[in-house]
Amino acid sequence: MKIYRSHVLICGGTGCTSSGSVKLLDRFAQQLKEHKLDDEISVVKTGCFGLCEAGPVVIVYPEGTFYSRVTPEDVDEIVAEHLLKGRIVRRLVYHEHSEVPNHSQSLNDIDFYKHQTRVALRNCGVIDPEKIDEYIAFDGYKALATALTEMTPQQVIDVIKESGLRGRGGGGFPTGLKWQLCAKSVSDKKYVICNADEGDPGAFMDRSILEGDPHSTLEAMVLCGYAIGSDEGYIYVRAEYPIAVKRLQIAIDQAKAYGLLGENILNTGFKFDIHIRLGAGAFVCGEETALMSSIEGRRGEPTPKPPFPAECGLFGKPTNINNVETFANIPQILLNGAEWFRTMGSQRSPGTKVFALGGKINNTGLVEVPMGTPLRTVIYDIGGGIPKGKKFKAVQTGGPSGGCIPSSLIDVPIEYDSLVEIGSMMGSGGMIVMDEDNCMVDIARFFLDFTVDESCGKCTPCRIGTRRMLEILDRIVSGKGEEGDIEKLETLAHAIKDTALCGLGQTAPNPVLSTIRYFRDEYEAHIKDKRCPAHHCKDLLHLEITDKCRGCTACARVCPVGAISGEPRGKHHIDIDKCIKCDSCISKCHFDAIIKV
């Protein structure tokens, strides 16, 4: 094995790739060869490091120096100074969002990572996901070898049950119990499915795991197959994830070549094969019965339960379905034991949870924290707070199926049951942060608009009920709300929750119900006063030039419709009948003289 004196890790996740990290790989190879360092320094393309806001990211080991927003031109300096002379390039070192940058040098110095516990993400940003040897070097497939040679299928299930692992894809059903139910079903054929559809707006947890550590999912699926008596599995992943799909196929081919997948795995006589199926991006196919219909080549529509997939699933056979993050925990639980897993998280929700942190937050990216961690820790200690000194207003968890949690509940622990109690849910792990400029009525309208567009249309409550709710919300944000609209929304919401066919339809009203619960005053202001307190809804506001105006004419020069008039050095005025509220004048005003009222 070749020994290198330094390793340069370059993020190869979707976020950094879209920012040009592929060009960094080529530039490093060129520069290292030019300086005759290519035999001394290894360049590794990894998965996502998590801190997407700072990408493209480059980390140099053994120092652990964390470089952010690196360009191809910066590579020359990193090679010439850091790798050749041992001098860290200070201007590229990542620093926290603060008035006085501390120029932290390594991951351990950065607040974004200090409060995290990485289990599902343990290898992301650490290994080359396209090299099975690197996964094996970090105990990869050791859990599988132990299970196949030292444990019975029931013993595997017992460990998962004792760990308390709950499904990370939505409602939090106990994983071990799900495996047990499928194992008890008698059939000549059983299936294992990995749900990698991940359709929530702003969610990219599963994608990042597949991009950065695909073998963890494959190993867990084989373990599940052994535990429930299955010899075949499917990974259902959306076609919009090309990097994940590519690395999954590479991982499958490598695992087969190493005898870790296919016939006679590790010479134990057990066989298991995995196929990839691409989804076309339908949100409803994240629901397990719709997902199975899609794999079978039929339209992705939910079916009534019972029967449950554990009894009658894919092609009419018993089927176990878990999402990517759930599977990513399995090998570590079997390696370290159920008690180890229970040392993290809370009593009701053991372990960790991965979140895609986005919206009005300084540190957008991927985070993994122990269950029970307060929202405040995620938003301020890890997320770095709200940009531009704005006030934190709410956070949306669970995507279109979740709810909005207000700032007054910022200390609520993040776990399945506590979130349900306050009107939200864990969901797959999307976490969208909102500040004082967000209108909560419009936020509810946004998520419901998504649900209406993605509804499969099979059941009337979801197909018609959500559309009627959206029509009411559209009227409210356009200034045409009427007395009684809030009550109509609540009535429709509860009817849909009680009668929709699948879980997606039943949870679709959650964003509306949670915003009414915690921000009812905003609804009333829209309806009664024809006013948007957040100054967001354009039909309910107009722009006004205050006495701060110095008559510089900058606003008039950028107005696309000629709505601003006035003499140079004199106060200007806006014709509200002409104004299209494009905000161009606000962005150009040098004196903060234009306000929304």
For residue 451, the one-letter residue type is T
Q: Final residue of a domain: which of 410, 435, 460?
A: 435
Residues 489 and 395 in one domain: no
Q: Measured between alpha carbons, how far is 366 from 363 in angstroms, rounded to an integer?
A: 9
Q: Measured between alpha carbons, how far is 472 from 301 in angstroms, rounded to an integer?
A: 27
pLDDT score of 1: 65
Question: Nearest 5°: CA angle at 558, between 552 and 564?
Answer: 70
Q: Final residue of a domain: which of 495, 528, 561?
A: 528
Q: From the CB of residue 501, how many other CB atoms can be counted at a distance below 10 Å?
A: 21
Residues 168 and 233 in one domain: yes
Residues 244 and 304 in one domain: yes
CATH code of the domain covering residue 161:
3.40.50.11540
pLDDT score of 354: 95
Quote the number of domains for the chain.
Answer: 5
373: left (phi over 0), alpha (psi -120 to 50) or beta: beta
Residues 155 and 81 in one domain: no
Q: Hey, what are 122's tokens? A: 């343990």
Q: Measured between alpha carbons, how far is 498 from 125 in angstroms, rounded to an integer?
A: 43
Residues 331 and 430 in one domain: no
pLDDT score of 97: 60
Helices and strands in the chain, H and E counts: 26, 17
Residues 156 and 198 in one domain: yes
Q: Give me the sign of the Cα torsion angle 292, 294, 297, 303.
A: positive
Q: Would you give the DSSP letter of residue 232?
A: E
Q: Residue 561 is part of which domain span?
A: 542-596
Residues 567 and 497 in one domain: no
Specify if 149 maps to a domain: yes
Specify if 521 maps to a domain: yes
CATH code of the domain covering residue 403:
3.10.20.600
Among residues 553, 519, 557, the alpha carbon closest in space to that of 536 is found at 519
Q: Final residue of a domain: which of 435, 454, 480?
A: 435
Residues 146 and 215 in one domain: yes
Specify if 533 maps to a domain: no
pTM: 0.92
Q: From the CB of residue 162, how many other CB atoms can be counted at a distance below 10 Å?
A: 16
Specify if 126 maps to a domain: no
Q: Would you give the DSSP letter of residue 376?
A: H
Query: What pLDDT digit, counting tens, does each position of 548-588 carry?
Result: 999 999 999 999 999 999 999 999 999 988 999 888 999 99
Specify if 45 maps to a domain: yes
pLDDT score of 99: 45
Contact 581, 542 (CB under 8 A): yes
pLDDT score of 105: 59
Specify if 1 maps to a domain: no
Angle between helices 214-228 and 242-257 (to 10 degrees): 60
Q: Measured between alpha carbons, how far is 164 from 179 in angstroms, rounded to an integer?
A: 13
Angle between helices 520-528 and 485-499 (to 10 degrees): 130
Any residues with CB less than 8 A from the CB of 510 and at least 6 apart, and which?
398, 401, 402, 403, 423, 424, 425
Per-residue pLDDT of the chain (597 residues; tens, 9 = 90+): 678 999 999 999 999 999 999 999 999 999 999 999 989 999 999 999 999 999 999 999 999 999 999 999 999 999 999 999 999 999 999 987 644 445 445 777 899 999 999 999 999 999 999 999 999 999 999 999 999 999 999 999 999 999 999 999 877 899 999 999 999 999 999 999 999 998 888 889 999 999 999 999 999 999 999 999 999 999 999 999 999 999 999 999 999 999 999 999 999 999 999 999 999 989 999 999 999 999 999 999 999 999 999 999 999 999 999 999 999 999 999 999 999 999 999 999 999 999 999 999 999 999 999 999 999 999 999 999 999 999 999 999 988 888 999 999 999 999 999 998 998 888 778 899 999 999 999 999 999 999 999 999 999 999 999 999 999 999 999 999 999 999 999 999 999 999 999 988 999 999 999 999 999 999 999 999 999 999 999 899 888 999 999 999 999 999 999 999 999 999 999 998 899 988 899 999 999 999 888
Specify if 120 maps to a domain: no
> 346: helix, coil or strand?
coil
pLDDT score of 100: 43
Specify if 75 maps to a domain: yes
Residues 55 and 192 in one domain: no
Residues 275 and 310 in one domain: yes
Pairing verdict, β 430-435 and 352-359? parallel
Residues 196 and 328 in one domain: yes
CATH code of the domain covering residue 47:
3.40.30.10
Any residues with CB less than 8 A from the CB of 395 and at least 6 apart, and which?
359, 375, 379, 404, 405, 431, 432, 433, 434
As a whole number of angstroms, the longest Cα–Cα distance in the chain is: 88
H or E element: which one contains 545? strand 543-545
Residues 142 and 42 in one domain: no
Burial of 431 (0-12, 13-18, 19+ CB in 10 A): buried
